[in-house]
Structure 1
Amino acid sequence: MFKPVHVKTLAAQEQRMLLTSRKLVQRKLIDIESDMRGTLRNFGLKVGVVSTIDYETRIRHLVEGFPRLAAIVEPLLTVRRVMRQQLATLHKMLLDTVRHDPVCKRLMTAPGVGPVVALTYRASIDQPQRFVHSRAVGAVRHCQIYGEGTFLSGSSSDLGSYKHALSSFKSSCVLALGTAFRALSGLN
C-alpha cells in the first residue's frame, strides 16, 4: 500500500536552500580561518585572540618577516574577505525573508527564537494546516515529551545535516516547551 507523503512547497525549499547555503559559507569561512591559524602555528606564529575585523591585519603582521608565507597567505585572506561579504549577503537575504514573513515575526516573539531558528522552523513545518493537533508537530520534528521534563529525540535522517537537525530540534522544543527546555539546553 502507498502511504501519503508531504512534499515541501517551493517557498519552503527556497528557505531551506537559503539556510543551508548560509551555513555552508559560514562553516567554510571558519575552516579557512582555523586552517590559517593552524598552519601559521607550525612556524611558531600564534594568531591569538583577535576580532573578526582585525584578523586580516594580525595575519599580515605575523607573516611580514616571511615573504614566502606572505605570498601563500595573501590569496587565503582574499578568499576569506570575499566569503565574509557573501555570508553578509546571505544573512541579509535571510533577515529580509524573516522580516516579510508574518509567521517568522510571530515565532520570534518567543524567548530564545531569533531569525535563523524562526526560518528553520518555518521551512521545516511548511504547511501547518496538515497537522490536526499541535502536539503532532513535535513528533514530526523528533521532539516529544514523555512525563515531566523528559525529552526524546528520534532519528532525523530526513533533515540532511546534523546542524540543521539540531537547529530544528531546538526550535521545536523551545516553542513547544518554553522555559524548561531553554534551561536544560543552555539557551537562556
Structure 2
Amino acid sequence: MKYFAGLDVSLEETAICVVDESGRIVKEGRAASEPRALCEVLGKVDLPLERIGLEACSLTAWLYDGLREGLPAICIETRQANAAMKTMPNKTDRNDARALAQIMRTGWYRQVHVKSQQCRLWRSLLVARRTVLNEMRTIENVVRSILREAGIKLGTPSRTAFGGRVRELIGTDTVVITLVEPLLAIVATMLRELGQLTKQVLNIARQERVCRRLMSVPGVGPITALAFRATIDRSDRFRRSRDVGAHLGLTPARYQSGETDIQGKISRCGDELARTALYEAAHSLLVRSKKWSSLRAWGMNVAKRRGMARARVAVARKLAVILHRMWSDATEFRFGKAPGHVSA
C-alpha cells in the first residue's frame, strides 16, 4: 500500500493530511511550520510515504531543504494547486491539506524547482536593491509635487544632485523647506544605502564565473547577469534554451477553444525580476549600444516593422535564449559579421 501526504503551510502552523492509494484519509494533524517539527510528526505516522507535497510559498524553500534530508518532499506549482483546491466547498487549512494529499496521489501536479540557498540570497539582494530604488523614486515624486504646489519646476537633475537642486530652488521659503527637508534627508540616506547594495551586486558579478561570461553580451550588465543567474540557478534545468523565454513569461499567451484561437500579449507568468532585467538589457542593446551585432541588427529590423516596444520584448526573449546557451556551452557571445565584411 502506498501513502501520500499534503502539507498546507502557513506562517505559524502547517496542516497535514495523509491518504492511501485509494484516496482514504489515514491521518490528519497539525505541526509548527518548522522542518524539525514536520519531520517528527511525519515520522510518527510510521507509513511508507511515496510523496509529500507542499505548495510554493515564502517558507517553502526553507521547509523543503529540511524535509528533503530524509523525506520525499515535492514543491508544487501554486496556480495548479489553487485550481484543485477550488473544488473544495469550504476554504480551510484542513481542506487544503486534503486537496494537496489527493494531488500527490493522482499525480496531477507540476513540480517546482527549488533554487539553491546561494541563488535565493542573491535574489533577495536584488529585490532589496530594487525596493530601495523604487521607494526613492516615490519620495522624489512627492518632493516634486510639493514644489509644483509652490510654483517651482524642478526639471531633471541627477540623483546625486537632487537634494542640492531642490534647496537651491526653494531658497528662503521656510514653509516649503520645512516640508521638504525631512524627505531630502530620507532620500540622501536611501541613496547612500543604494550605493552599498549596488556595490555588493557588482562584487558578486565580478567574482561569479557565469556572470562574467554573461556580461560579455552587449546591454547585459551586472544586475541583469546576476538576476538571470539567480533565477535560472542551474542551466541543466532546461533541455532546450528556447524554453527559457517561456519560463520567464516572454512568449505570447494563447487561448484556444473550438474555432477560437487567440494569441495575445506575453504571458508574464515567470519571474518578474529577471524578465524586467532582460527587458532593460534589450533597451540598452537597441538604444545605447554602438557596436554592431547580428542581434542588434535583428532587433532594429523588428523595431522598423512592429515598433520599438515590441522589439524590446522580442530582443529580451532572444537574450534569454542566448544567455542560457552561452551558460550551457561555456561559449562567448558571437557578434556575427557585419554586412560588407570581408574575411582575410
Q: TM-score, normalised by structure 2?
A: 0.46
Partner residue of 1:166 out of 266, 272, 276: 276
Deviations along 1:88-111, one digit per CA (max 9) or x if unpaired, are 000001001101110000001112
Q: CA deviation at 1:164?
A: 4.7
Q: How does 1:98-109 map to 2 (within 5 A)?
A: 98-109=205-216
Deviations along 1:109-141, one digit per CA (max 9) or x if unpaired, are 112211111111111111112222323323322
Deviations along 1:132-156, one digit per CA (max 9) or x if unpaired, are 23233233223459xxxxxx73232
Match of 1:132 in 2: 239
Residue 108 and residue 125 in structure 1: after superposition, are their counterparts in 2 closer, same or farther (change >3 A)? same
Q: How does 1:78-157 map to 2 (within 5 A)?
A: 78-144=185-251, 153-156=266-269
Matching residue's letter, 2:167: R
Q: CA deviation at 1:44?
A: 0.9
Matching residue's letter, 1:132: R
Match of 2:12 in 1: none
Partner residue of 1:185 out of 312, 320, 335: 312
Residue 131 and residue 164 in structure 1: after superposition, are their counterparts in 2 closer, same or farther (change >3 A)? closer
Q: How many residues align?
A: 176
Residue 170 and residue 81 in structure 1: after superposition, are their counterparts in 2 closer, same or farther (change >3 A)? closer
Deviations along 1:45-95, one digit per CA (max 9) or x if unpaired, are 221232333322221122232212212211111101000000000000100
Distance 1:170 1:140 in 2: 18
Greater relative CO, 1 or 2 (CA 8 Å, sep 6+): 1
Distance 1:72 1:115 in 2: 37
Of stretches 97-106 and 61-70 in structure 1, the one that deviates more from structure 2 is 61-70
Match of 1:67 in 2: 174
Q: Confirm or deny that 1:43 pairs with 2:150.
A: yes
Match of 2:141 in 1: 34
Residue 31 and residue 46 in structure 1: after superposition, are their counterparts in 2 closer, same or farther (change >3 A)? same
Structure holding more strand per residue: 2
Residue 169 and residue 58 in structure 1: after superposition, are their counterparts in 2 closer, same or farther (change >3 A)? closer
Matching residue's letter, 1:154: S
* Equivalent pair of 2:228/2:274 in contact (CA under 8 Å): no
Matching residue's letter, 2:276: L
Distance 1:132 1:51 in 2: 44
Distance 1:56 1:90 in 2: 21
Structure holding more helix per residue: 1
Between structure 1 and structure 2, the one with the greater Rg is 2
Q: Can you give the 5+ residue segments of structure 2 that lack an aligned partner in the other structure?
A: 1-106, 253-264, 286-293, 304-310, 316-344
Q: CA RMSD in A?
A: 2.8
Distance 2:132 2:238 in 1: 34
Distance 2:161 2:281 in 1: 33
Matching residue's letter, 2:159: T
Distance 1:39 1:132 in 2: 54
* Equivalent pair of 2:221/2:281 in contact (CA under 8 Å): no
